[in-house]
Amino acid sequence: MLLVREDGTMTLCIPEIDTSRQNLAITLPKYAAETPARELSSSLGAPKDAALSLYWPGGVYLNIWCVPSSLSHGTREKFSGWTGGIDQGYLLEIIIEKRPLEDQAGLKGAELVLDLSRGVHWFGGAHMLRQIWPLDRAQWEVGPLYPFDHGPNGLGSIVGCHWLSSAGSIVMVDPKTPVLHFGLNSPTELTDSNPRYFGVGVQHLAQPVLPILEHGSSATEGDGKMRIQTRVDWNDKKVLHPWQTIDGPTNHVVSHDDSMGGFDGIIKPRSTDGHVVLRVGLAAKTDIRAAAWTALGSLPRPKHPPPDVLFRRSIWTTWATSHADVTQRQVVSLANAVIENGFIPGVLEIDDRWQSHYGELEFDHKKFPDPKKLVDELHNLGFLVTLWVMPFLQEGSAACEEARSHGYVVAGNEPPSIREEISIGGAGQRIGSTVKVLVDKFDWPPGHWEGGGGGGRLRAGQVRWWGTQPVWVLDLTNDMAVDWFVTRLKRLQDTMGIDGFKFDAGEPCFLPRGSETSRPLEYPGEYTQIWVNKVASRFPISEVRSGYLTTEYSGLVRMGDRDSVWGLDNGLQSLIPALLTSSVLGYHFCLPDMVGGNAYWGQYPDTELIVRWAQVSVMMPFVQWSIPPWDVSEIANALCLAAERDRQIILLPRLSELTAKASASLSPICRPLWWLDPLDEETYAIDDQFAVGDDIIIAPVVEKGARWRRLYLPVGEWFGWEREMHGNIQDDNTYFDVSDTIIGPCWITVDAPLEKLPIFIKL
């Protein structure tokens, strides 16, 4: 039931379940808030199939449809593709004329606000730099909602447009909303008066780690609200990001279709432009698992899971040890070392700087004198071979000249001057921008080839990214540009015997000032969708790191780069919250970042950190290595091997069935504990355990120095899985002591020495 009041406030609930009550409201502009709403009939402009249509003077409309009910073709078109899983609920459309908004202070757009109730937890949204589970523990500042490489409010590369509550509420927003903003429990006062900003590479060092972690047990320290907004434009002095300088459509228009047709009264919208439109789906279910199924049922599904070999063999990438200085000799050395140290040959991924120039898609023959021989040698050793690529092109390459001559790159206006770049924003942004410009200018660190692009000076259409050269961006809205890029990838694949690709970037934050694409992007996330669905999807063995309503992708979806630290701030403790967020958002083929992190900024994992990291990663759908455990210590290597064998014994026999279900119905492979018992309140806030299917609970140790841990077992009979060691760690067997079964639900404390990954299996 949805109770709607004439002041724009609403209550969503299941009448017989009082705890399901969700209070929400549309934010009325000042000129409309003082006047009660007027209910519209179809003769006065209400959509003919709407259950309720309200109007406030000044051009503010609220249309509501009930599901299930008979909807017109126009209404179905507006809500199709993102609310299909709602079998009982409501579709809301808020329409506000732009002109009065532009003359008002404050929010210039349409906003739906939900109250965060005490004791009710929220899940979903996006990957974040500080990954917090559940979301109500965070103060997520209102900001743009589209994929970022570490956005101004902490937003990451995987972004969803739905949220679930432990009370069973579901909130969905139209992912095609062009100027979409979101915030949850936003801080009422920022400790730093400087604006938030988007930065790349070394600029990250000057950025705060966001979102802010809520220290209390309730939402009292933030504003206690979920805010979903669409605005007149991207302008925001508090949050600075690239789309504030990108030309293009600024908001939805009101279409002439059945749902808005038949308007003969004076209060109807008189044209197809001049309005902001916010569309939201709402539903209330009996529990959070039912809510999750509703959300997942609204998303596109993959036709099949990734190739089985990717589940059964780990990925080894050259990044953390070689970074941009990788050579043919180093790749061969890594492959041989993997085998010599007892690991099974898997996928060997040749990362950054294998190309002669970025975007050239040809091996640098100084670093790789015989790449075909290299690939053949790796295949003979039992490895698959993949290459790192991204949608950027570097000046000085033949590919760049060809792309520019054919109009395959995004055009742009004159870039800011260096003085302007280093003068924007607060102190942190100015310092970070200065360092970034210097790094680009001098092509630092040494050992890399010449930069091109005028050093630190940008040319019209170029952008800064995490590399040390300004680059041009592939115009993915141009079908000929996409075909040109994919054709060159396939030619490289056929010529060299490459098995697949790691597709990096794809976030719409990497577009130049005043971007001019072949076809205007309707909304920022559309760029990500094209990168995933029209480029990466053309290759069966592939991975991406960005996603925006791209759950139909049948490849691996990687978490963002992790730092080699323990904490929730992009370290080991962020892995399980990111995995669980992926499961709620429908990205079940989740690839954790490399074991031990990226070794950035002089960080390097010790034995304890890399072993605990391995124990977390091996029970996720895929595993990725880069820092060699044998370089850390003999103990690290032995225990990482043991973790790999735990995966082979426990996880692999179950993966075939789980991946098939994930593909067919978006049933999660790895699940939050509340999936096993959605009414058990103890499960809602657990962020350091996860379930595999319905019968395995993984409870890794993620606290430095811990040799025991407290864990939770939901309802059922559970027994602990143990590994017995006999001399050489490779000679192991397992046993199940069924006599020590534990009846859940209950909290227990278990010993967890460094060699042990706590695993419990349901009888």
**Residue 510 confidence (pLDDT):** 96
Q: How confident is the model at residue 723 (pLDDT cuts 50, 70, 90)?
A: confident
Q: Which residues sit opposite 760 in a β-bridge? A: 697, 720
- Residue 441 forms part of a structural domain: no
Same domain, 208 and 255: yes
Residues 6+ apart with CB under 8 A from 491: none
Instruction: Name the pLDDT band for 264 (thresholds 50, 70, 90).
Output: very low
**What is the pLDDT at residue 215?**
64
Q: In the prediction, which pLDDT does 468 show?
A: 80
Q: What separation in angstroms does the CA of 281 have from each of 84, 175, 230, 547?
A: 10, 11, 15, 21
Q: Indicate if 402 and 383 belong to the same structural domain.
A: yes
The answer on 278 and 186 residing in a single domain is yes
Based on the fold, state whether residues 659 and 686 are members of the same structural domain.
Answer: no
How high is the pLDDT of residue 206?
83
Same domain, 158 and 276: yes
- pLDDT higher for 19 or 157? 157
Distance CA 690, CA 243 (A): 37
Examine residue 435 and state whether it is found in any structural domain, yes or no.
no
Across all residues in the chain, what is the average pLDDT? Answer: 90
Boundary-marking domain end, from 235, 265, 296:
296
For residues 235 and 122, membership in a common domain is answered with: yes
What DSSP character marks residue 489? H
* Catalytically annotated residue among 221, 258, 522, 569: 569
In which residue are the tokens 């404050």 written? 106
pLDDT for the residue numbered 105: 67
Mean pLDDT over 679-696 rounds to: 98
pLDDT of residue 731: 40
Token reading at 157: 């590369």
- Taking only the tens place, the pLDDT of each residue in 168-222 is 999 999 999 999 999 999 998 776 678 899 988 888 888 889 999 876 544 457 9
The average pLDDT across 528-539 equals: 98
Active site residue 507: yes
Domain membership of residue 448 (yes or no) is no
Please report the DSSP string for 646-689 in residue order: HIIIIIHHHHHHHHHHHHHH---SEE-GGGT-TT-GGGTT--S-
pLDDT beyond 70 at 509: yes
- Res 443: pLDDT: 67
Q: Exposed/middle/buried for 380, CB within 10 Å: 0-12, 13-18, 19+?
A: exposed
Give this prediction's pTM.
0.93
Using alpha carbons, list the distances in angstroms from residue 666 to 86, 553, 606: 15, 12, 37
CATH (domain of 751): 2.60.40.1180
Please report whether residue 302 resides in a domain: no
The answer to whether residue 561 scores a pLDDT higher than 50 is: yes
Regarding whether 98 and 232 lie in a shared domain, the answer is: yes
Look at 341-355, 498-512, 569-583, 732-746 and tell me which has the smallest mean pLDDT. Answer: 732-746
Mean pLDDT value across residues 35-53:
89
Query: Of these residues, 49, 174, 236, 507, which one is catalytic?
Result: 507
Is residue 147 situated within a structural domain? yes
C-alpha closest to that of 623 among 332, 338, 326: 338
Encoded tokens for 387: 């290459």
Question: Is the model's pLDDT at 490 over the cut of 70?
Answer: yes
Q: How far is CA 397 from each of CA 39, 363, 392, 486, rounded to the nearest angstrom?
A: 63, 12, 12, 18
Write out the DSSP string of 510-578: S--TT-B-SS--SSTHHHHHHIIIIIGGGSSSEEES-EES-TT--SEEEPPP--SSSSTTTSGGGHHHH
Question: Six-digit token pair at 750?
Answer: 């278990």
> Considering the chain, what percentage of its residues have pLDDT values greater than 90?
74
455 band by pLDDT with thresholds 50, 70 and 90: low
pLDDT at 439: 82
Pure H helices in 590-736: 607-617, 629-632, 634-646, 652-665
pLDDT in the model for residue 108: 87
pLDDT at 137: 94
Per-residue pLDDT at 250 exceeds 60: no
Given 296, 319, 339, the domain boundary residue is 296
232 shares a domain with 108 = yes
| Residues 34 and 116 grouped into a single domain | yes
What's the mean pLDDT in 409-417? Answer: 92
The count of domains in the chain is 3
Highest mean pLDDT of the ranges 189-193, 326-330, 451-455: 326-330
Main-chain phi, psi angles of 728, to 5 degrees = -60, 130
Write phi, then psi, for 478 (nearest 5 degrees).
Answer: -95, 110
Q: What is the pLDDT of residue 268?
A: 41
User: Which percentage of the chain shows pLDDT scores above 70?
Assistant: 91
Q: Annotated catalytic, 569?
A: yes
Express each pLDDT in 367-404 by its tens digit: 999 999 999 999 999 999 999 999 999 988 899 999 99
Domain end, chosen from 598, 632, 665, is at 665
635 within some domain: yes
| CA dist., res. 116 & res. 757, Å (int) | 36
State the catalytic residue, choosing from 136, 362, 499, 504: 504
Q: What is the pLDDT of residue 365?
A: 94
- Do 108 and 235 reside in the same domain of the chain? yes
For the residues 84-105, what does the mean pLDDT come to? 88
Residue 639 sits in a domain of what CATH number? Answer: 3.20.20.80
Strand partners, 164: 123, 170
Q: In this predicted structure, which of 446-460, 524-538, 694-708 has the lowest mean pLDDT?
A: 446-460
Q: What is the pLDDT of residue 516?
A: 94
420 included as an active-site residue: no
Same domain, 81 and 109: yes
pLDDT digits (tens, 9 = 90+) for 229-248: 999 999 998 999 999 998 64
Q: Which domain holds residue 284?
A: 2-296
Contacts of 490 (CB under 8 A, 6+ apart): 538
pLDDT tens track for 330-346: 999 999 999 999 999 99
71 lies in some domain: yes
Q: pLDDT tens digits, residue range 602-641?
A: 899 999 999 999 999 999 999 999 999 999 999 999 999 9
| Mean predicted confidence (pLDDT) in 72-86 | 94
Q: Is residue 720 part of a domain?
A: yes
Residues 578 and 705 in one domain: no
pLDDT at 351: 95
Q: Are 295 and 162 in contact (CB under 8 A)?
A: yes
